[in-house]
Structure 1
Amino acid sequence: MIKSALLALLVLVAPAFAEERPLKIATVDMQQIFKSYHRTEAAQKDYNVEIARIQKQDGERLSGIRDIGAQLEKLVKQLDDPTVAESKKVELQRQATDRKQEGLALERERRDFIERQRTQVNERMVQVMKGLLAEIRKQLDEISRAEDYDYVFDSSGVSASQVPFVLSSRESGDLTEMVLTKLNAGAAKEEAEPASK
């Protein structure tokens, strides 16, 4: 809706600009820039490392729960054994109940832990992605000002009805590669810095 209103405004305002100078419009593929930005790739790798760490810790917790499950299974077998004395069965029943409660408590704790960890990692990732988008927009603003563009539209954007916002554009007005080149110019330097520390 807002994008449609913006286009209508452009159509109305364009003749006024035409008297001064031709309206200069460019496009950019924000999805491609975001995916190809070297810092996005690094952030995704960090995210994957964090998820792998959580999965490892989850595996360790599951292993402990499985051990308790195996102990519980042995206790149940002993309880089912007709040769075990009734006095011993009372003790085995108490141990089985304790093991079951312990296993349930550990499972609840494991689920809470996983949920908390994933929520924290996802929240950090959202903040990182917002920062990366801000860097991309800043670079795009600098380029559009330097190249004297009046408007820059995201060619990867779609309307509410999933129709591309920019239906047609000339390749010459696409700033995607220029933005990517400037953003990724420091990639080799950033990768070398951690190795030298």
Structure 2
Amino acid sequence: GGVVILWERFKREFLVKYFPVDFKNKKVVEFMELKQGNLSVADYAVKFESLCDFSPHYNTVEAENDKCVKFESGLRPDIKHLIGFSEIRDFATLVNKSRICDEDGKAKTNYYKSMSDRKGKGQDRAKPYDNRGKKGVESSDGRKKNSGQCYRRSQESSMQEAEEGDWESVFFECGRCGSSG
């Protein structure tokens, strides 16, 4: 009965009909320029594999080394830094180890972010020694008050006022609110 068509011939004719040369060339260029960027390693690997189909050189057993080098060169620097020294030349292993580094890096980032968010919640309290950028508020008697906790003024500032004739404030006045005590 029927006509026997070899797989290679069918594949070639199918590709000519449904994948024009200019489309294939665009995919080859896209593959050559592919970088991980903001993709996860898993998503980068999927895109890499799909574009790799358009570059026959990378689809042979002999090209496994080149395929690994190409994949590794497109990884983000933070992952490439952790993986590169290993010189992994088995593609499946390289993808898996890169994925683990990516996930560990994200977990580490999330951990430190949550720790910093948790720490930051109680850190908005004013500190008497940290008056940078804070403006004093004037009280009804015209004296400046700083926002924050009360604190006893330093001996130097009290002595300076004593030299200027303001003996009442020496060692007895709060540096924030001006109250005696």
TM-score range for the pair, normalised by the shorter chain length: under 0.3
Query: Quick check: which has more Rg, 1 or 2?
Result: 2
Of Structure 1 and Structure 2, the greater helix share is in 1
Higher RCO, Cα 8 Å, sep 6+:
1
